[in-house]
Every structure is written in C-alpha cells, then in structure tokens.
Amino acid sequence: QSALTQPASVSGSPGQSITISCTGTSSDVGSYSLVSWYQQHPGKAPQLMIYEVSQRPSGVSNRFSGSKSGNTASLTISGLQAEDEADYYCCSYAGFSSVMFGGGTELTVL
Amino acid sequence: QLQLKESGPGLVKPSETLSVTCSVSGGSISTRGYYWGWIRQPPGKGLEWIGSLYYSGSTYYNPSLKSRVTISVDTSKNQLSLKLSAVTAADTGIYYCARSQSSQDAFEIWGQGTMVTVFS
C-alpha cells in the first residue's frame, strides 16, 4: 500500500489560484468518491478542508474546492491568502476498509 | 463541543509496546455511525493512517501495521486506545486520534496529538 502521490511543494502569490494534485490508482482514488483534503499548520493538528471529493465542512472558506478525474484528485485554492500557507494532505479510501494519505504538499504564499 | 485528548508515555524502549489513550469529552464514543481513528506523523514527515474503530466495535488496520496494532474502546471511560507492539525508532512520532462522522477518510475532529519517542 503506497502513499498517494502529491507534489512536494507549490507556491503562489496572494490573490492567485493554485492547484494541488493527488494521484492514486484505480484501486483507491479512481474507484471511490471518498477523497478528503487536510490543511496542517506547523505544530498544529490537521484540519479537514474537503471531504467526498468536493464537499466543504461547515466553516471552511469557499475559496477551497476539490475535484477528481480518473485516478487523480485535486485541491484548488482561489484568492490565495497568507494564512493559506501550510502543508496539505490528500486522503483516500482504498478499499478493504483501509485508508491512505498522500505524502503532503508544502504551500508557500510568496 | 466534542474534544479529543491523547495521552501517552512519551518514551518507549525498542521492542516494547507503545500504548496511547484518547479521552473523549463533550460526546459519547458509542454514538451511532462514527469512526474513531488513529493517525501518526513522524518528525518532519507526512501523515500515516494506523487504523480505525467503528462505533459498532469493528476495527480496521493499515495492512503494513496490522500485525502489531490493536485498537480498542472503553465505553465506561469514554476512551479509545492504541497499542503498537515491537516498536522501533521508525515508530517515533506524533500520534493523533480523530473522529469521522461520514466516511473512514474524513476526520473532522482531531486531538492535539501526543509525541512518542522510541529511544533506548
């Protein structure tokens, strides 16, 4: 069971939009609409930002959106703000009652 | 509101068993429909799902850890427990408990985490 593949880092300027990809296989991301995204600031616990591919929990800004195509899920952050600088992790149900995380992406707001 | 708080030994010797507890307040650990999970994070690295327990008592484990992991619940104390046997330095990290009300991957409430170091 290998981790989902994410870019190690992405960056963008305030106000811009960025997209973080999360590539799995036909056995996990490609088979289920159970992909979630987490934001983690240094020294803090992760926070759920997106679930079921594109759903936002109550209280999460609508600047965060999720999508999926084939074996790849994506998180898009629009109107980038300094407070968005953090690590982001995707997570997918992988069948047989198992779950896997991506390796994480460090977002830098320039 | 629901709060989770992990507690652990801090230091564990190689080959011993790591035991971490998650105390749940503001709600019942037996509430229908919820998953309770353990996730860990080695220093400077990413998140790894260890396993989950469904409210019914069913448990699900990461295949790579399955032979060493036991997750259980004490409803009388409203606590979730994790035991990881035969630990090595690779088991060092922050251990988080978390709750999902929808699916196994979507943990919407997390504890603050507890750091466990495997050190001889």
Question: Does residue A47 carry a pLDDT above 80?
Answer: yes
- In the structure, what pLDDT confidence band is assigned to residue B17 with cuts at 50, 70 and 90? very high
Residue A104 near chain B (CB below 8 Å): yes
Tell me the pairing of strands B48-54 and B35-41: antiparallel
Tokens for A93?
């149900």
Average pLDDT on B16-29 reads 97
- In the structure, what pLDDT confidence band is assigned to residue A96 with cuts at 50, 70 and 90? confident
Rounded mean pLDDT of chain B? Answer: 96
- In the structure, what pLDDT confidence band is assigned to residue A76 with cuts at 50, 70 and 90? very high
| Residue corresponding to tokens 């074996």 | A71
Residue B108 near chain A (CB below 8 Å): yes
Question: Quick check: B92 and B83 in contact, CB under 8 A?
Answer: no
Cα angle A24, B102, A29 (rounded to 5 degrees) comes to 10
d(CA A47, CA A37): 8
Question: Does residue A98 carry a pLDDT above 70?
Answer: yes
Closest CA to B107 of B44, B43, B22, B42: B22
| pLDDT recorded at residue B106 | 93
Question: Does residue A1 carry a pLDDT above 70?
Answer: no
Residue A24 near chain B (CB below 8 Å): no
What count of CB pairs under 8 Å joins A to B? Answer: 73
Tokens for A35?
């992909």
Closest CA to A25 of A7, A3, A10, A53: A3
State whether B46 and A102 contact (CB < 8 Å): yes
Question: Quick check: B68 and B19 in contact, CB under 8 A?
Answer: no
State whether A98 and B63 contact (CB < 8 Å): yes
